[in-house]
């Protein structure tokens, strides 16, 4: 039986850049939601280092302006666009303006998220709905606005920021766990639906990361002890530790990676 093996790259392919750094994001534009601070900001900076042009979104205009100014000061090509990712009309208008005024979005990172904890038996409906809206429905709304262009161009990378709570839960976070569990399946559904258009949709699932969202938890001694004991790495993670995975999933290196959730959690989900 003869086995066909891909030939070595030709010198012409090397010269044309076909074989250059598969992780480079040079020439690509990335839109990152909720990027005024925390994980979104760190991912934006990391994608910028890898060569991407950046469009930052946040719902807080002052925070967004500061984030844009900081990254511009570091030499990146950055624009900001303030909109609420839960407002469908706002999302459609804003994405259209970005694509018309700045250029097409090659990579989208659905990062915006919130936590509103409460015991489930007394959880107010508004808390349930707000968390579902920001952590789940927004990914549908923003992706729907962006994907038409990707389908036309036959190329696109979409990353959803998932969570350990796609898989496991704790008391008082049922709204968040339901939203992130839904986001995991939305990620897979989008991957399956758009793979034929050469669009890859994957999830990045952070473990416990120090940010404003987890700020109050990091200083609660008991919770801090619990997280350090539960995480095989024995510590909280930092936002910058998610960058490599986001760059990978945004890059040519991930052209055949689709519908996966990649957990970056210091080993937590692997441990009993
Ligand atoms: P963060 O520091 O609170 O940053 C989230 C950003 O999103 C904030 O600037 C927030 O603004 C913004 N945002 C909220 N609602 C928005 C909306 N409707 N439209 C646009 N922007 C909005 O949180 P983070 O810790 O970086 O979390 C980022 C993502 O990672 C979230 O999806 C979160 O669920 C996920 N995650 C975090 C951890 C962790 O340990 N930190 C672990 C797993 C997953 P406001 O502050 O005004 O709300």
What is the distance in A from the centroid of ligand 1 to the CA of 76? Answer: 22
Q: What's the pTM?
A: 0.95
Phi, psi of 189 (to 5 degrees): -65, -40
Instruction: Give one word for 41, left, alpha or beta, with left for phi > 0 and alpha for psi -120 to 50.
Output: alpha
- Site residues for ligand 1, CB cut-off 6 Å: 33-34, 36-40, 57-60, 63, 84-86, 111-114, 134-135, 161, 163, 206, 208-209, 211-214
Report if residue 221 sits inside a domain.
yes
What is the pLDDT at residue 14?
47
205 phi, psi to nearest 5 deg: -110, 100
Give me the catalytic one of 176, 194, 208, 263. Answer: 176
94 domain-assigned: yes
Which of 113, 117, 206 most suits a substitution to test ligand 1, by most atoms within 8 Å of the C-beta?
113
150, part of any domain: yes
The Å distance, Cα 113 to ligand 1 centre, comes to: 4
174 domain-assigned: yes
| Radius of gyration, alpha carbons of the chain | 19
Tell me, in angstroms, the distance from the centre of ligand 1 to residue 101's CA.
26
Pocket test for ligand 1, best of 32, 34, 220 (most atoms within 8 A of CB): 34
- Answer whether residue 11 is part of any domain: no
Q: What is the rounded distance in angstroms from the CA atom of residue 69 to the CA atom of residue 111?
A: 20
- Give catalytic status of residue 176 as yes or no: yes
Would 109 be classed as within a structural domain?
yes
Q: How far is the CA of 68 from the centre of ligand 1 (A)?
A: 17
Residue nearest ligand 1's atom 6 by CA: 34
Instruction: Tell the residue nearest (CA) to atom 47 of ligand 1.
Output: 60
247 found inside a domain: yes
- Please give the pLDDT value at position 7: 53
Contact 22, 225 (CB under 8 A): no
* Number of independent structural domains in the chain: 1
Closest CA to 200 of 244, 131, 253: 253
List helix spans (H) across the chain.
11-15, 38-49, 61-73, 88-101, 125-132, 138-153, 174-194, 215-218, 221-230, 243-250
Distance 106 CA to ligand 1 centre (A): 22
Which mutation among 56, 59, 173, 243 tests ligand 1's pocket best, with the greatest number of atoms within 8 A of CB?
A: 59
Which is it for the CA torsion 21, 75, 71, 68, positive or negative?
Answer: negative
**3-class SS of residue 221:** helix
Domain CATH code at residue 104: 3.40.50.720
What is the block-wise mean pLDDT of the chain (272 residues), using blocks of 10 residues?
53 55 98 98 98 98 98 98 98 98 98 97 98 99 98 98 98 98 99 98 98 86 94 97 98 98 98 94
Q: Is 242 part of any domain?
A: yes
* Structural domain boundaries, residue 200: 29-270
């Amino acid at each position: 039986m003869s086995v066909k093996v891909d030939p070595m790259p030709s010198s012409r392919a090397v010269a044309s850049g076909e074989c250059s750094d598969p992780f480079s994001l040079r020439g690509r534009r990335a839109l990152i939601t909720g990027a005024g601070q925390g994980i979104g900001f760190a991912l934006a900076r990391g994608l910028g280092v890898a060569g991407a042009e950046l469009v930052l979104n946040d719902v807080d205009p002052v925070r967004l302006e500061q984030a844009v100014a900081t990254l511009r000061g570091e030499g990146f090509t950055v624009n900001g666009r303030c909109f609420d990712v839960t407002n469908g009309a706002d999302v459609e208008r804003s994405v259209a303006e970005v694509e018309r005024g700045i250029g097409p979005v090659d990579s989208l990172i659905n990062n915006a998220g919130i936590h509103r904890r409460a015991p489930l038996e007394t959880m107010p409906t508004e808390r349930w709905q707000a968390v579902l809206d920001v952590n789940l429905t927004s990914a549908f709304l923003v992706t729907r606005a962006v994907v038409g262009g990707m389908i036309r161009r036959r190329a696109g990378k979409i990353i959803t920021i998932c969570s350990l709570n796609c898989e496991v839960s704790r008391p008082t976070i049922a709204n968040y766990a339901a939203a992130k569990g839904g986001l995991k399946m939305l990620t897979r559904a989008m991957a399956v639906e758009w793979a034929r258009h050469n669009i890859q949709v994957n999830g990045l699932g952070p473990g416990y990361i120090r940010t404003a969202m987890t700020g109050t938890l990091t200083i609660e001694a008991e919770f801090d002890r619990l997280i350090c004991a539960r995480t095989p790495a024995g510590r909280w993670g930092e936002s910058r530790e998610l960058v490599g995975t986001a760059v990978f999933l945004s890059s040519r290196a991930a052209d055949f990676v689709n519908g996966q959730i990649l957990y970056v959690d210091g080993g937590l989900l692997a441990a009993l």
